[in-house]
């Protein structure tokens, strides 16, 4: 038998979601069987409803074989570099400037030095996060950036903040703006462009269409020209939708690809500038939470990273 007392970072989620996170060795099919066999108790009573929302202080008892309860604490994040460039931090969130060349999460190379591990390592060293004291939660990123895109990433330090941030992002209440360099002029000084996007099943690449095709999803991208530098254009981009490679692929689709982009850019121009990493930076973020949100104190504040390296290197 395994017993849990629901802590602050566990409450507010469904009991089935909690169990799968708290007991990663327990197969989902076995969990459902435990519910059917009345082997899961909530506050001393048989729990039949897998969707019940947990409250702080709830008691859960799970009756199953001991093999499902063996749990090794994963401390691999301690192998990451914990020196991070912090833009803003409070008790709930952490806003960090991600450098170019660092993945946000673990990839196929099993490299432990990624942004989420760096953030967890930093919080561990500061005695803010300890996996020994958590049943189901670990600090998590709320937005993703490509490995070779630099700039702002947002991390939640507790479960409540994670829920609020994810909800706000889904409801377009978080405004994210990017800086980039295009190798050809944009069609106008500013515009909102619409197209249709599909991530291809083979290879990490997307296709863009002006017409709606089955399997494609609508994308909306706003741009504003900041300054023209001879053959290069410095632009500000705002994502209205957020899909894989949206900025890179959408700008290439309108014949204004990003300098250094090896996937959607122009190889000869990249070679001429000796630039082989996309000049794209998640430059600023602004929040607009609901008034009753626990994070509403962040409303109206704009957080920016430093000017990206490429603005100094290529714009002269």
Catalytic residue IDs: 146
**C-alpha to C-alpha distance for 48 and 36, rounded to whole angstroms:** 7
Give CA separation, 149 vs 32, 108, 123, 181, 264, in Å. Answer: 41, 18, 24, 12, 14
What are the two backbone dihedrals, phi and then psi, of residue 300, each rounded to the nearest 5 degrees? 85, -10
- Answer whether 191's CB lies under 8 Å from 167's CB: no
Sheet arrangement for strand 2-5 = 2-5, 59-62, 40-42, 45-46
**Strand pairing category for 217-229 and 59-62:** unpaired
| Residue carrying the six token digits 């994502």 | 239
Long-range contacts of 64-72 (CB under 8 A, 24+ apart): 64/1, 64/2, 64/26, 64/30, 64/34, 64/39, 67/25, 68/23, 68/25, 68/26, 68/30, 69/2, 69/23, 69/25, 70/25, 71/23, 71/24, 71/25
Alpha carbon distance 166, 175 (integer Å): 13
Cβ neighbours for 307, distance < 8 A, ≥ 6 positions apart: none
CA torsion through residues 236, 239, 245, 250, sign: negative
């Amino acid at each position: 038998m395994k017993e849990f007392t629901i802590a602050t970072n566990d409450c507010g989620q469904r009991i089935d979601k909690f169990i799968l996170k708290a007991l990663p060795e327990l197969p989902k099919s076995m969990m459902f069987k435990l519910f059917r066999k009345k082997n899961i108790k909530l506050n001393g009573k048989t729990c039949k409803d897998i969707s019940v929302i947990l409250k702080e202080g709830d008691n859960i008892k799970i009756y199953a074989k001991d093999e499902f309860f063996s749990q090794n604490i994963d401390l691999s994040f301690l192998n990451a570099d914990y020196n991070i460039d912090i833009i803003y931090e409070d008790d709930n969130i952490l806003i960090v400037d991600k450098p170019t060349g660092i993945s946000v999460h673990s990839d196929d190379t099993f490299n432990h030095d990624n942004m989420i591990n760096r953030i967890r390592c930093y919080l561990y060293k500061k005695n803010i996060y300890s996996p020994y004291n958590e049943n189901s939660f670990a600090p998590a990123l709320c937005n993703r950036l490509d490995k070779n895109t630099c700039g702002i990433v947002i991390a939640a330090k507790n479960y409540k903040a994670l829920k609020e941030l994810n909800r706000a992002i889904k409801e377009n209440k978080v405004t994210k703006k990017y800086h980039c360099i295009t190798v050809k002029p944009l069609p106008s000084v500013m515009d909102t462009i619409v197209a249709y996007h599909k991530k291809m099943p083979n290879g990490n690449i997307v296709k863009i269409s002006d017409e709606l095709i089955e399997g494609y999803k609508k994308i909306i991208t706003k741009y504003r020209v900041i300054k023209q530098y001879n053959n290069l254009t410095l632009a500000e981009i705002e994502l209205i939708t957020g899909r894989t490679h949206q900025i890179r692929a959408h700008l290439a689709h309108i014949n204004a690809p990003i300098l250094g982009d090896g996937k959607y850019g122009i190889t000869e121009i990249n070679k001429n500038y000796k630039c082989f990493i996309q000049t794209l930076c998640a430059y600023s973020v602004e929040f607009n939470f609901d008034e009753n949100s626990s994070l509403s104190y962040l409303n109206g504040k704009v957080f920016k990273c430093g000017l990206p390296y490429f603005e100094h290197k290529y714009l002269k």
